[in-house]
Structure 1
Amino acid sequence: MKTIEVIGTGCMKCTRLLKNVEIAVKELGIEAEVRKVDDITEIIDRGVMLTPALAVDGELKVSGRVADVPELKRILKESA
């Protein structure tokens, strides 16, 4: 099972990225744990300078922007 983390403090862009991730996971029919990481200390410890960000299985894939559903599906397929 994949671990997908949406990293951000809860702004509108972070919320939109989380929603897009949920849609992509559902459309792909994959098993994944989707987590929201909003603790500022954890975000800094991970070295994320721009939010929202997306990590798949611990690897940062997107930072500083909202990825759309087709891009997220591509990222998740490549991370399989």
Structure 2
Amino acid sequence: MNIKVLGPGCMNCVKVESTVRQVIGELSILADVEKVTDFSRWAKYRILGTPGLVVNDKVVCAARIPSKAEVTTWIIDALEQEEREARAA
């Protein structure tokens, strides 16, 4: 699983990253968490505001701080999608 926190590195970006790391720790899953602070890299996701959150190359949230419950749901959904794709292959 690949998770990206998009933004300039502001306090809100730090909060989102912290929530993501807490959730993956509680779920005991392996995930690469990357802070993307370079505008040219996060601009390709076409978000209108930061922070942005991308799970497996899908933008799941932008311009707000998501709740822990939302982050948990998005990560579990991505895990389930990975499992479906693995079974289909």
Shorter-chain TM-score: what band?
over 0.9
More strand by proportion, 1 or 2? 1
More helix by share: 2
Aligned pairs, how many?
79
Structure 1 stretches of 4+ with a deviation exceeding 3 A read none
- % identity of equivalent residues: 28
5+ residue gaps, structure 2, are 80-89
- Which of the pair has the greater relative contact order for Cα pairs under 8 Å at 6+ separation? 1
* Equivalence for 1:60: 59
Gaps of 5+ in 1: none
Per the alignment, in what secondary structure is the counterpart of residue 55 of structure 1?
A: strand
- Would you say the 8 A contact 2:45–2:59 is kept in 1? no
Q: Residue in 2 aligned with 1:44?
A: 43
For 1:26 and 1:69, the matched residues in 2 are separated by 12
* Alpha-carbon distance, 1:45 to partner: 2.4
